Amino acid sequence: MSKQQLDAILQLAAEAPPPENPTPPDMRAWFEAINAQTPMAEGVAISPMSSGSWSGEWLRPSRSDGKRLMIYYHGGGFLFGSPRSHRAVTTQLAQLTAAPVLSIDYRLAPEHPAPAAHDDCFDAYRWALQQGFDASSITLAGDSAGGNLALSTAIRARDEGLPLPGCVVMMSPALDLAGDGESHIRLQNAPLLTKELIDLFNRAYVGEGDLRSSLVTPFYSDMAGLPPILIHVGSNELLVDDSLTLAERIEQAGGPVELKVWQDMVHCWQLYGPMLEESMQSMEEIARFAMAHTG
């Protein structure tokens, strides 16, 4: 049944392609519209918040111990996406973990090029520590570009001497911005995320900068001394080698990492929520991982 579900979802996506010759507002409106109909979890209270250069929203489940926290960084190539576009994921994770989720609305490119998003996301983690959350009770999570931001935040916390989060979760993380991995060639026509879109994202956020710089990706960083990391990636997505290579590097550094490649899944399939069986299965596994490492 799930194969039929995925085929139906991809058909709907094909009927609503990105606009031609779009402006950033065009791309943002398109992305918000295609995600607006995905069901959210019930029983989650949503409220806005802001701090400095970034804002966000709290997603609080009806049952929560108030001690654990998930900080969520949305995907969208640093160009589009928002806490609203990702509520199908964040509301489910709030319910499944019985903990509040702080979904970060970081500054977007091209109005705010690198490293604005990375700075905002690190500042959000530092803010959570200042509010009294114990680092070991915090999960840093994100999809696509948000997975990049989650790992970058943990590495920067380590390098700047801040206490480390309890764990990091990445869904289809966008790490190999330079496209060195073989899957960037072999699967460049995979559904949803194409090489053309990645090139657009890179131009907007990095411009003429170094695509391998630690300011824009943690892919080439020292992986030693990091908290437990969970990576979920689809077998049918251009970025699959990003995850495979990262997991190998973490293992070589002696770090704890769990990698699961989901057969036939496409980029960020979790965004389809209850519409796709594997979406809910992935989020349930993510929730169990987060709860096990932030007790």
181-195: pLDDT as tens digits: 999 999 988 999 999
Structure confidence at residue 235 (pLDDT): 97
235 noted as active-site residue: no
- How sure is the predictor about 17, in pLDDT bands with cuts at 50, 70 and 90? confident
pLDDT digits (tens, 9 = 90+) for 120-134: 999 999 999 999 999
pLDDT at 148 over 60: yes
- Out of 237, 278, 279, 282, which one is annotated catalytic? 237
In angstroms, the CA 275 to CA 27 distance is 24
Structure confidence at residue 65 (pLDDT): 76
Q: How far is the CA of 234 from the CAs of 6, 250, 267, in angstroms?
A: 12, 19, 6
47 noted as active-site residue: no
- How sure is the predictor about 1, in pLDDT bands with cuts at 50, 70 and 90? low
pTM of the prediction?
0.97
Phi, psi of 99 (to 5 degrees): -145, 150
Q: Which two tokens stand for residue 63?
A: 């049952």
Percent of the chain whose pLDDT exceeds 90? 89
- Out of 55, 82, 85, 144, which one is annotated catalytic? 144
- Out of 267, 279, 282, 293, which one is annotated catalytic? 267
β-partners of residue 140 are 71, 168
Structure confidence at residue 16 (pLDDT): 83
In angstroms, the CA 267 to CA 21 distance is 23
Rounded to an integer, the average pLDDT of 43-67 is 93
pLDDT digits (tens, 9 = 90+) for 232-245: 999 999 999 999 99
282 noted as active-site residue: no
